[in-house]
Structure 1
Amino acid sequence: MCGIAGWIDYAGVGPDAEIIAERMNGAQYHRGPDGGGTWLSRFAVLAHRRLAVIDVQNGAQPMAFPGTPDSEARLVLTYNGELYNYRELRKELEARGHRFRTAGDTEVVLTAWAEWGPKAVERFNGIFAFAVWDAEDRALWLVRDHLGVKPLHYHRDGGRLVFGSEAKAVLAHPEVETAVDEDGLRQLALPLLKFPGANPYAGVAEVLPGHLLRFSADGVRTVRYWDIREHVVRQEPEEAPEAAAERLRELLQDTVARQTIADVPLCTFLSGGLDSSVVTAIANRLPRGRAVNSFSVDFTDAAGSADSRSALDRLHAREAAEHIGSEHANIVLDSALLADGGVRDGAVAARDLPNGFGDLDTSLLLLCREIRRHATVALSGEAADEILGGYLWFHEPRAVQARTFPWIADSPAHGYLHQRVLATLDPGLVRRLRLEEYLHDTYSSALAGLDFDPGIAPEERRHREIIHLAVTYFLPMLLDRNDRLSMSSGLEVRVPFCDHRVVEHVVALSSGTHNAGGREKGVLRDAASDLLPAGVLERKKSPYPTTPDPDYSRNLGKNLSEVLSDPPDGLADIFKAEMLDPERITDSARSHGLVSNFEGEVILNFASWMRQYRPRIAVH
Structure 2
Amino acid sequence: MCGITGWVDFSRDLTTESGTLDAMVRTLIRRGPDAGGGWLDTHAALGHRRLAIIDLEGGAQPMATPERGPRGDLPRAVISYGGEIYNYRELRGELSLYGHRFATSSDTEVALRAYLQWGADFVHRLNGMYSIAIWDTAREELLLVRDRLGVKPLYYHPTPGGVLFGSEPKAILANPLVRPSASAEELCDVLLFLRTPGRVPLRGMRELRPGHLLRVGREGLREERYWALEARPHTDDLPTTIATVRELLDDIVPRQMVADVPLVALLSGGLDSSTVTALAQRVRAAEGGRISTFAVDFTGHSENFRGDPIRPTPDGPYARAVAEHVGSAHHTITLDRARLLDPAVRRTVLAAWDLPFNFADLDVSLHQLFAAVREHATVALSGEGADEVFGGYLWFSDPVARAAETFPWLELGAHRGLDPGALFRPWFVEGIDLAAYQADLYRGALAEVPRLDGEGPEERRTRELGYLTLTRWLPILLDKKDRMGMANGLEGRVPFCDHRLVEYLFNVPWAMKTCTGQEKGLLREAAADLLPQSVLRRTKAAYPSIQDPAYDRGLIAGLTAAAVGHDAPLAGYLDPEAVRRLTHKTTTGTLSEFERILLESTVRLGDWLSTYGVDLDLGPDRLTL
TM-score calculated relative to the size of structure 2: 0.94
Give the Cα–Cα distance (whole angstroms) in 2 for the partners of residues 604 and 151 of structure 1: 25
Q: Aligned letter for 1:34?
A: D
Aligned to 2:265: 268
DSSP 3-state at the match of 1:442: helix
Aligned to 1:58: 58
Asked if the contact 2:58/2:104 (under 8 Å) is kept, the reply is yes
Aligned to 1:302: 301
| Bigger mean CA offset, 565-574 vs 488-497 | 565-574
Q: CA deviation at 1:97?
A: 0.7
Give the Cα–Cα distance (whole angstroms) in 2 for the partners of residues 224 and 344 of structure 1: 36
Q: Aligned letter for 2:234?
A: E
Aligned to 2:7: 7
Q: Aligned letter for 2:556?
A: G
Aligned to 1:488: 487
- Identify if the C-alpha distance between structure 1 residues 613 and 306 changes in structure 2 by more than 3 Å, giving closer, same or farther: closer
Query: What CA RMSD, in Å, does the superposition of the two structures yield over aligned residues?
Result: 2.0
- Identify if the C-alpha distance between structure 1 residues 15 and 89 changes in structure 2 by more than 3 Å, giving closer, same or farther: closer
Q: CA deviation at 1:582?
A: 8.2
Please list the CA deviations of residues 367-399 of structure 1 after superposition, one character each: whole Å capped at 9, or x if unmatched. Answer: 011101111000110011111110111111111
Aligned to 1:385: 387
Aligned to 1:200: 201
Please list the CA deviations of residues 211-234 of structure 1 after superposition, one character each: whole Å capped at 9, or x if unmatched. Answer: 111010111112211101x1xx22
Aligned to 1:249: 246
Q: CA deviation at 1:570?
A: 2.9
Asked if the contact 1:37/1:49 (under 8 Å) is kept, the reply is yes
Give the Cα–Cα distance (whole angstroms) in 1 for the partners of residues 94 and 387 of structure 2: 36
Aligned to 1:358: 360
Aligned to 1:37: 37
Aligned to 1:49: 49
Give the Cα–Cα distance (whole angstroms) in 2 for the partners of residues 366 and 568 of structure 1: 31
Q: Aligned letter for 2:173?
A: L
Please list the CA deviations of residues 165-188 of structure 1 after superposition, one character each: whole Å capped at 9, or x if unmatched. Answer: 001111111101111122211111
Give the Cα–Cα distance (whole angstroms) in 2 for the partners of residues 204 and 585 of structure 1: 39
Q: CA deviation at 1:422?
A: 2.3
Q: CA deviation at 1:155?
A: 0.4
| Bigger mean CA offset, 40-49 vs 404-413 | 404-413
- Identify if the C-alpha distance between structure 1 residues 509 and 126 changes in structure 2 by more than 3 Å, giving closer, same or farther: same
Aligned to 1:501: 500
Please list the CA deviations of residues 393-437 of structure 1 after superposition, one character each: whole Å capped at 9, or x if unmatched. Answer: 111111110011100015678x544x2x22123322222221111
Q: Aligned letter for 1:28?
A: L
Asked if the contact 1:305/1:311 (under 8 Å) is kept, the reply is no
| Bigger mean CA offset, 212-221 vs 558-567 | 558-567
DSSP 3-state at the match of 1:58: coil
Aligned to 2:623: none
Asked if the contact 1:579/1:585 (under 8 Å) is kept, the reply is no
5 Å-filtered alignment, 1:552-571, equals 552-561=551-560, 566=565, 568-571=567-570
Please list the CA deviations of residues 238-259 of structure 1 after superposition, one character each: whole Å capped at 9, or x if unmatched. Answer: x222211111111011110000
Give the Cα–Cα distance (whole angstroms) in 2 for the partners of residues 310 and 351 of structure 1: 30
Q: Aligned letter for 1:502?
A: L
- Identify if the C-alpha distance between structure 1 residues 573 and 255 changes in structure 2 by more than 3 Å, giving closer, same or farther: farther
- Identify if the C-alpha distance between structure 1 residues 391 and 71 changes in structure 2 by more than 3 Å, giving closer, same or farther: same
Aligned to 1:219: 220
Aligned to 2:28: 28
Give the Cα–Cα distance (whole angstroms) in 1 for the partners of residues 411 and 306 of structure 2: 29
Please list the CA deviations of residues 563-582 of structure 1 after superposition, one character each: whole Å capped at 9, or x if unmatched. Answer: 65657443124422224448
The reply on whether 1:106 has 2:104 as its aligned counterpart is no
Please list the CA deviations of residues 525-566 of structure 1 after superposition, one character each: whole Å capped at 9, or x if unmatched. Answer: 000001000111111110111111232123223554566565
Give the Cα–Cα distance (whole angstroms) in 2 for the partners of residues 279 and 493 of structure 1: 13
Asked if the contact 1:586/1:597 (under 8 Å) is kept, the reply is no
Give the Cα–Cα distance (whole angstroms) in 1 for the partners of residues 457 and 493 of structure 2: 35
| Bigger mean CA offset, 568-577 vs 460-469 | 568-577
- Identify if the C-alpha distance between structure 1 residues 215 and 84 changes in structure 2 by more than 3 Å, giving closer, same or farther: same
Q: Aligned letter for 1:6?
A: G
Q: CA deviation at 1:15?
A: 5.9
The reply on whether 1:278 has 2:271 as its aligned counterpart is no
The reply on whether 1:530 has 2:532 as its aligned counterpart is no
5 Å-filtered alignment, 1:543-582, equals 543-561=542-560, 566=565, 568-581=567-580
DSSP 3-state at the match of 1:423: coil
- Identify if the C-alpha distance between structure 1 residues 164 and 307 changes in structure 2 by more than 3 Å, giving closer, same or farther: same
Q: Aligned letter for 1:216?
A: G
DSSP 3-state at the match of 2:422: helix
Q: Aligned letter for 2:273?
A: S
Asked if the contact 2:15/2:40 (under 8 Å) is kept, the reply is no
Q: CA deviation at 1:101?
A: 0.4
Q: Aligned letter for 1:468?
A: Y
The reply on whether 1:422 has 2:421 as its aligned counterpart is yes
Q: Aligned letter for 1:506?
A: L
| Bigger mean CA offset, 581-590 vs 529-538 | 581-590
Unpaired runs of at least 5, structure 1: none
Structure 2 residue corresponding to 1:240, chosen from 228, 237, 245:
237
Give the Cα–Cα distance (whole angstroms) in 2 for the partners of residues 160 and 574 of structure 1: 37
Give the Cα–Cα distance (whole angstroms) in 1 for the partners of residues 345 and 592 of structure 2: 23
Give the Cα–Cα distance (whole angstroms) in 1 for the partners of residues 339 and 259 of structure 2: 32
Give the Cα–Cα distance (whole angstroms) in 1 for the partners of residues 79 and 588 of structure 2: 49
Asked if the contact 1:377/1:493 (under 8 Å) is kept, the reply is yes
Give the Cα–Cα distance (whole angstroms) in 2 for the partners of residues 575 and 520 of structure 1: 40
5 Å-filtered alignment, 1:40-439, equals 40-66=40-66, 71-191=73-193, 193-228=194-229, 230=230, 233-237=231-235, 239-286=236-283, 287-305=286-304, 312-410=314-412, 415-417=416-418, 419=419, 421-439=420-438
Unpaired runs of at least 5, structure 2: 620-625
Give the Cα–Cα distance (whole angstroms) in 2 for the partners of residues 453 and 518 of structure 1: 25
Give the Cα–Cα distance (whole angstroms) in 1 for the partners of residues 571 and 196 of structure 2: 26
Asked if the contact 2:130/2:151 (under 8 Å) is kept, the reply is yes
Give the Cα–Cα distance (whole angstroms) in 2 for the partners of residues 71 and 456 of structure 1: 59
Aligned to 2:622: none
Aligned to 2:517: 518
DSSP 3-state at the match of 1:329: strand
The count of corresponding residues between Structure 1 and Structure 2 is 612
Asked if the contact 1:303/1:332 (under 8 Å) is kept, the reply is no
Q: CA deviation at 1:335?
A: 1.2
Asked if the contact 2:189/2:201 (under 8 Å) is kept, the reply is yes
- Identify if the C-alpha distance between structure 1 residues 190 and 562 changes in structure 2 by more than 3 Å, giving closer, same or farther: closer
